[in-house]
Structure 1
Amino acid sequence: MELTKLLCLFIFFTIEALLILLQAELNMFHLVILSCYIFLLILKSRPSPIYLVDYSCLKPPSICQIPHSTFIEHTRNFMDKQSITFMTKILNQSGQSDETYIPPALHYIPPKSDYQEVISEVHMVLFPVFEDLLAKTKLTPRDIDVLIVNCSGFCPAPSLSSIIVNKFGMREDIKSYTISGMGCSASALAIDITQNIFKSHKDSIAVVLSTEILSTGWYPGKEPSMLVINCLFRMGAAGILISNKKESKNRAKYELVKTLRTQRAYDDKGYFSAYREEDTDGYTGVTLKRNLLETAGETLRSNITILGSQILPFTEKILYGVSILKKKMVDKKSSVDIYVPNFKSVINHFCLPTSGRAVINEIGKGLNLGESDMEAALMTLHRFGNQSSSSLWYELAYLEAKERVKKGVKAWMLGMGSGPKCISIIWECIRPICGEAQRGPWADSIDGYPLG
């Protein structure tokens, strides 16, 4: 497609140059020189391809595993019966197994949230995943030009990115950023930010470290809408290495095809659907409103409407457009649904938000996906829980471990977070990927999935 566009531009500018020649009475040599010059300007203005060289996902230590029964038993010592009953119900409906992880601070009775415990969790999740990423890619910390660290709920001073720079002795001129408050969309958002940074930084290497620090997020109060967070979020982290260097293509796994970022923070209903605040007793927590699923649907719809107009084949666009016209002009009061475009005509794999089984099913319904399309998200939720923004990378790791990612296929990462916001990232696999079942977070469990 890009080659076709370039060819059309070249022909167009050649015709323009020919017209100039006819008016200026220049010779053919000048025509060739002018056309080549214009063509080189076009090539120079094109952004460099962006490659996902490799990534790593944290496998938390086994001592951090927390079966549902143990989790509930711990809470009996410091929470009231009504709160325990509610959290038991949420856990049983969550789609999580007994093998998910929480940090050491939350294993105490009652949980600890002091600063030193929180910093210890930062070290436990970010240091190993960064070290593993460097080992995979055979790079040193000083090779990194851009560093982006995302975590929604913990914003220390010095920042998380400064902690990494200090620990690993990175360069003094590194471009470092810390992203907070973006929820489950943050890691996809960081890829979008990296793409924009690369527009003015050629031949660069960027690392994105994505996590959620849970030690600060425990809610000890009694509000049911705030207790949900205690049950759903689990320990995890991912490190992603991205490059716009030409030579990176030789060893990269994927090339970035498309990013699209939309949000609905202007809408009060959506803005307050997931909101950090104090309860009546002064305890801080995140309130999840009952309209969260509806808000997620509206946020997703606005994103995929734009995305579909850019990536779907012409026939799908026509079918979608006709169904809207029919709904508005012919059957305004009818219950006929608007046609759901077939994204599977251009996308092979889907990495969806693991915010809960109900959310995954709702998104799958909105995109007209089958069980196999939602498998990576559902199995990641079961094995690791909702790890916030890093979950997308555990899903991609699942697909790779199952050896389903072939050269030429496209994977769609869909990040949705508080705000609310939605970020779509589309990758194209550019080389065969095999042997991932023997390493990574799924190494000891991939044979047990999908669940029977």
Structure 2
Amino acid sequence: MHGALAEMQMHACTSLVDYFDKDSVEFMSKILHSSGQGPETYLPPSMHFIPPRPTHLNSIQEAQMVLFPIMEDLLVKSSHCPRDIDFLIVNCSAFCSSPSLSSMIVNKFEMRSDVKTFNLSGMGCSASILAMALAQNLLLVHKESNVIILSTEILTTGLYSGKERPKLVLNCLFRMGGAAILLTNRKQARKESKYTLVRVMRDQRCFNDKAYTSAIREEDSNGLTGVTLRKDILEVASDMIRAQLSALGSSMLPITEKAKFAISILRKRFVTKATEIYVPNFKTIVRHYCLPVSGRPVIKEIGKGLRLGERELEAAFATLHRFGNQSSSSLWYELAYIEAKKRVKKGERVWMLGMGTGPKCGSVVLECIRPIISESKKGPWADCIDRYPFSAFNNN
């Protein structure tokens, strides 16, 4: 299941799979080499065959392989049983089964008949943050409740077998993974909780045709389905990030930072257009950052825009290298990395930023409410945390 196998398969596809011609294989190989992903990322079993087997049954098996273990692990770590859960939210964009994935979980774990379930699809890498917003709203209405979010992406059905390069990119970028998150407003749970939810922000650009089609699933000229990534996506992403920063800054930045920003705008408008707009120092309100892991260039560009140093970007680079882009669940692997490095202290804040198809963008601010210890000995980084960081992040 290692990502390194993907490249070997692609070269083998030159002679064994008629829809991957030589040019397509070479193009995907270049994407893999420049992506920032290491040799230990995971692909589902369906993609270990030549040709791959993107069947419905294999998609179901992949979903079970990811969702069942993380659900069980969360219940054990939180000392809950399935019947303690009042709401279940499952997000997955590429695969929508019937019965739903949330129904699959209820059936497997024999949850209560009155548990309220939600299935989110089509929201891409932003889905986990949007699920947090939904959970927050549920908890504001329903007292003494528990919400579980299961965040994943099923890759089996997402394979594009054609030759159009804008659609071939996604064959290379995404990897297998998932995260389970428990949110609660029960009073007795505060002592065990790691974080309190400070703020959730959402933004979208679906109303704009150019933005709407910047990342879209569609058929190619031969009727084969894949997700097209257009060049407009970078401009759209920058626009949405600015909106998130504006919302975050207006509500949380200290008055001195707001003043510097306002003065720079006035100076640019009325004094000299050459004046650069002041970028507020968000480190005054946020200590740790979990960013989209869409690729090394994207991480660097976001970091540059936020004036972040190597240490703040370390979790994103490490997650990309070790686990790849796991869509909406990647942010939680980054948070697990920061915890495993013993960097999150009580009172410090974490900002998680997610962007996905639509296009949609969301962010969450969490505040640590208790000391977090022993995370390096459990979780996804238990067997490799000592290997990170390393210089390859910035040199390759």
Q: Establish whether TM, by shorter chain, passes 0.5.
A: yes
Secondary structure at 1:199 match in 2: helix
In structure 1, the residue corresponding to 2:304 is in which secondary structure?
helix
Q: CA deviation at 1:303?
A: 1.5
Provide Cα deviations, 1:199-238, integer angstroms capped at 9, x if missing partner: 2110000100000000000000000000000000000000
Q: Is the 8 A contact 2:289 2:350 kept in 1?
A: yes
1:441 aligned onto 2:355: no
Describe the shift of the 1:71–1:300 C-alpha distance in structure 2 as closer, same or farther (beyond 3 A). farther
Q: Which amino acid aligns with 2:287?
A: N
Structure 1 residue matching 2:64: 3-state secondary structure: helix
Q: Shift of the alpha carbon at 1:64?
A: 4.8
- Residue 394 of structure 2 is matched in structure 1 by none
Q: 5+ unaligned residues in a row in structure 2: which ranges? A: 392-396
Tell me what 2:114 maps to. 173
State the SS of the aligned residue for 2:10.
helix
Asked whether 1:161 is paired with 2:102, we answer: yes
Contact 2:2 2:40 survives alignment (8 Å): no
CA distance in 2, matches of 1:201, 1:450: 42
**Is 1:255 matched with 2:196?**
yes
Structure 1 residue aligned with 2:358: 419
Match of 2:186 in 1: 245
* Contact 1:68–1:98 (Cα < 8 Å) also in 2: no
> How many residue pairs align between the two structures?
388
Preserved CA contact (<8 Å) 2:44 2:156: yes
Q: Do residues 409 (structure 1) and 348 (structure 2) align?
A: yes
- How far is 1:151 from its partner? 0.1
Q: Structure 2: how far apart are the matches of 1:391 and 1:127?
A: 18
Q: Return the TM-score normalized by structure 2.
A: 0.96
What SS is found at the alignment partner of 1:412?
A: strand
Verify the 8 A CA contact 2:252 2:285 in the aligned structure 1.
yes
1:12-71 CA deviation, whole Å, 9 max, x = no partner? Answer: xxxxxxxxxxxxxxxxxxxxxxxxxxxxxxxxxxxxxxxxxxxxxxxxxxx455445424
Q: Which residue of 2 aligns with 1:3?
A: none
CA distance in 2, matches of 1:411, 1:71: 39
Residue 13 of structure 2 corresponds to residue 72 of structure 1: no
Counterparts of 1:87 and 1:307 in 2: how far apart (Å)? Answer: 37
Q: 2:284 maps to which residue?
A: 345
Q: Distance in 1 between matches of 2:267 and 2:210?
A: 29
From 205, 216, 221, the equivalent of 2:146 is: 205
8 Å CA contact 1:144–1:174 kept in 2: the answer is yes
Gaps of 5+ in 1: 1-62
The CA deviation string for residues 61-107 of structure 1, in whole angstroms up to 9 with x for no partner, is xx455445424334333210110111011111100011110000011
Q: Which residue of 1 aligns with 2:302?
A: 363
| Matches of 1:224 and 1:64, distance apart in 2 | 24
Q: TM-score, normalised by structure 1?
A: 0.84
* Maintained 8 Å contact 2:126/2:328: yes
AA partner of residue 264 (structure 2): S
Structure 2 CA distance for partners of 1:175 and 1:379, relative to 1, 3 Å: same
Contact 1:319 1:339 in 2 (8 A): yes
Cα deviation, residue 300, structure 1: 0.6
Letter in 2 for 1:292: I
Larger Rg: 1 or 2?
A: 1
Percent identity over the alignment is: 57
Shift of 1:337: 2.1
SS at match of 2:333: helix
Counterpart of 1:305 in structure 2 is: 246
- Rounded to whole Å, the distance in 1 between the matches of 2:240 and 2:234 is 10
CA positional deviation for 1:118:
0.6
Which residue is 1:326 aligned to?
Answer: 267
| Residues 126-275 of structure 1 mapped to structure 2, 5 A cutoff | 126-275=67-216
* 49, 62, 76: which one aligns with 1:121: 62
- Whole-Å separation in 2 of the counterparts to 1:106 and 1:116: 13
Alignment match, 2:328: 389
Q: 2:142, 2:352 → 1: CA distance?
A: 24
Q: How many angstroms apart in 2 are the aligned matches of 1:65 and 1:327? A: 48
CA offset digits 1:254-303 (Å, max 9, x no partner): 11111111111112221111011000011100000012212110111111
What SS does the corresponding residue of 1:262 show, helix, strand or coil?
strand
Corresponding residue SS for 1:166: helix
